[in-house]
Amino acid sequence: MNVLILEDSKLYAKLIKSNIEKYLIFAKCDVVSSFEELKKIDKKYDLYIVDYILPDTNEDEHIKYLLEQNAKIIVMTQYEDKIYKSSFMNDIIDFIIKEDISIINYLIRLVKRIYKNQFKNVLVVDDSKSIRLYQKKFLKLLNLNVFEAKNGQEALEIIKKEKINFVISDIEMPKMNGVEMVKEIRKTKNIDELPILIVSSTENLFITFQILKLGANDFIKKPFDKNEYIIRINNILDIYDYLINYKEERTIDGLTKIYNRFFLENSFEQIFKFYKQKIVAILDIDFFKKINDTYGHQAGDKILTYFAKHIKNNLRKDDLIIRYGGEEFLVFMPNTTKEEAYIVLHKIKNSLQIVDGIKFTFSAGIANEGETLAEMIKKADERLYKAKETGRNRIVYKG
Ligand code: GH3
Ligand code: MG
Ligand code: MG
Ligand code: MG
């Protein structure tokens, strides 16, 4: 992301540039110190952080100049009341009060937010086209991809089809109102999966309480202040990003980068139940302890990483691989017979490479018997044991 800082105070410009580049690896900052210099630049930047008062302009000349080119602008100022009342208030992303150095933290967060928003889809649900457009303008300023729906029903259809990360909705709407819509969304997407912000003019406090209790995350009263709108949206999205990272860190194995046991025990059941016909296989590296003892733990780690990747490369899109134990991997294949699974594992077995001069093999058990995940794992484990007992380096799916 390319950022241009327009600031006549060299010290302040340097402070902002160094902080942004230190904390945001994706950002690259250039600095200019006057309107004259700005006008000489041909390059278009993704974001402009500009001082309100420059020595060579009449007040907001430079801001208007940038707005004409559809620039995304954050204004730095000592005159917040002036900015707040300015004609361009609704056309800039936000403003930062300069006196307080600690506001730099907010600026960093905001720039990071704007960068991340390019990957986020927000759905605005309102029966009034003008209100949708009004909100869309601010959401676009924040770099979000915007989808629109006229009522709850339309919203649900879009959520089914598109990867929506955030819903902003009215309450009173024809066909399906916001309360019903929130209820429907929460049947499949928990409060920690899809945030919902309500923007409504309702005077009825009980409806407000009700929709929040049903799973909406926050509420803004119409008519709203653009600044409040943007701050609340940024807060919600920041918290959700944090949650996503947190969940990912908990469910991904650090060494092999595939799902871990925590994922198996906490998130897998839903996927497992979704499919009628399916198989579970357990793959266990043969004599792995000996490999560790002979070549060292690091060599063992390398084999584990390679093995996980090798299995994954041979699976289909809907198949899953989970690190079940130290050198044990669980493979889940939906809509697959035991015979088909055997063919896949056989291919994995026959295409195993030698890693750093170390040749290794694995044994596996395949099962489709049993109603529950635990029953299927037990059966696969029994067959794995059989494979080990009868000489290792083999795959068992019968008996
Ligand atoms: P078998 O053929 O019967 O499966 O014998 P094995 O030696 O593979 O099985 P065993 O269960 O006795 O030993 C597994 C070894 O895996 C023991 C443990 O130190 C090692 N191990 C577990 N996790 C890791 C890891 O993350 N890295 C490395 N390098 N080794 C691990
Ligand atoms: Mg100045
Ligand atoms: Mg083993
Ligand atoms: Mg083992």
239 lines ligand 1 (CB under 6 A): no
Question: pLDDT per residue over 40-72, tens digit each?
Answer: 999 999 999 999 999 999 889 999 999 999 999
In this structure, the number of other CB atoms found within 10 A of the CB of residue 6 comes to 26
Closest Cα to atom 31, ligand 1: which residue? 326
302 lines ligand 1 (CB under 6 A): no
pLDDT of residue 100: 78
The CA–CA distances, whole Å, from 138 to 81, 132, 143, 265, 341 equal 20, 10, 9, 41, 51
Q: From CA 170, how far away is CA 13, in angstroms rounded?
A: 41
Number of separate helices (H) and strands (E) present in the chain:
16, 15
Output the CA 287–ligand 4 centroid distance in Å.
Answer: 9
Q: How confident is the model at residue 96 (pLDDT cuts 50, 70, 90)?
A: very high
Question: pLDDT per residue over 168-199, tens digit each?
Answer: 999 999 999 999 999 999 999 999 899 999 99
Report the share of the chain in percent with pLDDT over 90. Answer: 92
Q: Please report which ligand is nearest the Cα atom of 34.
A: 2
Domains of the chain with bracketed CATH? 2-114 (3.40.50.2300), 119-249 (3.40.50.2300), 261-396 (3.30.70.270)
In this structure, the number of other CB atoms found within 10 A of the CB of residue 117 comes to 22
Output the CA 207–ligand 4 centroid distance in Å.
Answer: 56
326 lines ligand 1 (CB under 6 A): yes
Output the CA 366–ligand 4 centroid distance in Å.
Answer: 16
246 lines ligand 1 (CB under 6 A): no
